[in-house]
Amino acid sequence: MLVRLKNVGATYQKAMVTLFCDMMHKEIEVYVDDMISKSKTSEQHVEDLRKLFVRLRKYKLRLNPAKCTFGMKSGKLVGFMVDPDKVKAIREMPTSRTKLEVRGFLRRINYITWFISQLTTTCSLMYYLL
């Protein structure tokens, strides 16, 4: 793909979404030129990577080995530090018991909506109950 084209980023993104549509938001995330494989266990990670590599090979796509890292639990992604310890504060938040506390929780979680896929769908029942 020619780099000097004006819509090269959008074209690449659309191609990746088309090629990996069944894996997107489940096993991998693709953002511009970053591709992230995400798994809960190391065994699942190996299986997800195998599936990803098979797909890359099928469409004759290559990765730059100098830019690849495997098995990481944290790292910088799109300018943000992704670290399980940072998520700990959200996971350990006390359960909201009143309407006011639920509203406060939804406001706080809305701040990070960009990082959570399908957050609106997940929180829709709470919005409905308010």
pTM, rounded to two decimals: 0.60
The pLDDT of 18-29, averaged and rounded, is 89
Does the pLDDT at position 5 exceed 60?
yes
At 130, the pLDDT band (50, 70, 90 cuts) reads confident
Round to whole Å and give the CA distance between 25 and 22. 9
**Among 10-19, 47-56, 70-79, the least confident range:** 70-79
Domain boundaries, the chain: 1-71
Q: Which of 15, 18, 56 is nearest to 37 (CA)?
A: 56
CA distances 57 to 33, 48, 61, Å, are: 17, 14, 6
130 and 103 in contact (C-beta within 8 Å)?
yes
pLDDT tens column, 102-111: 998 888 888 7
Q: Which of 118, 122, 83 is nearest to 105 (CA)?
A: 122
CA dihedral (75, 71, 52, 85) positive or negative: negative
DSSP string over 48-82:
HHHHHHHHHHHTT----GGG---S-SSEEETTEEE
